[in-house]
Amino acid sequence: MRPDENRPVLGVISCNRDVENQAAQVVMTRYLNSALTYANAAALLAPAMPGLIHAREVAPRLDGLLLTGTPSNLDPKRYGDLADDAPGPFDPDRDEMTARLIEAMLDLGKPVFGICRGFQELNVAFGGTLRRDMAEHPELIAHHAPSDKSFAEYFEHVHPVTLKEGVLKSAYGKSELDVVSVHYQGVDKLGAGLRVEAVAPDGVVEAVSAEVNGAPVLAVQWHPEWKAHENPESQMFFKLLGRALRRRPLVPR
């Protein structure tokens, strides 16, 4: 690939993980492959190291931010739940870094997109809360494959979502999608100012949008990055990201 100085630069949040017994900053490559290909963007990884990096020195250098999924859960204390029995694993430095980056980016009028944990982080950033029982209640559909399944089988777990009036329904030109669902946490109280873009058959919120200082916010609970090369509907999420990075309307008027 030849360098293109005109492509926007997407910030992608990293996670704290252990790699061969050493602390590492990690982003799963599938998020980068999908985002860079279908948003047609360059990227910089944003380490989840809030003690060493200030969000407000990073945000001006980015055209937009992508908050990815990851195995860790948000610490419930981030949304006012002081229970001691919350299941981990946790990544408190990512919790802190994403909260600061979301604020810094939106203050500058720059877009923020989220996937899975990123969707949950945005809901909390807007004052919402999460529930941690998505796999336990019989009134809910299965939002995660059984825990005894393989990693690949997790990402074969699909359910439909209904699209509400908004960005996604306009972009897709349809009212329903089948989506890859791999999550134990989900929206409880919706964050103030967020608009529901999609719901699962049990009513659980699956996608949200907003506009802050002219910047679009769009986040989905599902995993459009998984095998996006095989799924034009998944590619559309990242094409919307590409439009946002270029400050174009998400849905052409």
| Active site residue ranges | 116, 223, 225
Q: How many CB atoms lie under 10 A from the CB of residue 199?
A: 16
Contacts with 121 (C-beta within 8 Å, 6 or more apart), sequence order: 67, 74, 95, 98, 99, 102, 114
State which amino acid sits at residue 97. M
- Is the separation of the CB atoms in 172 and 122 below 8 Å? no
Tokens of residue 111, six digits: 């877009």
Helices (H), the chain: 29-38, 55-58, 92-107, 117-125, 151-154, 167-172, 232-245
Residues 102-131 as b/e (b if ≥16 CB within 10 A, e otherwise) read bbbbbeeebbbbbbbbbbbbbbbbbebbbb
Closest CA to 179 of 37, 64, 38, 69: 69
Q: Which helix (H) or strand (E) holds 50?
A: none
CA distances from residue 130 to 59, 189, 222 in whole angstroms, order as listed? 26, 7, 16
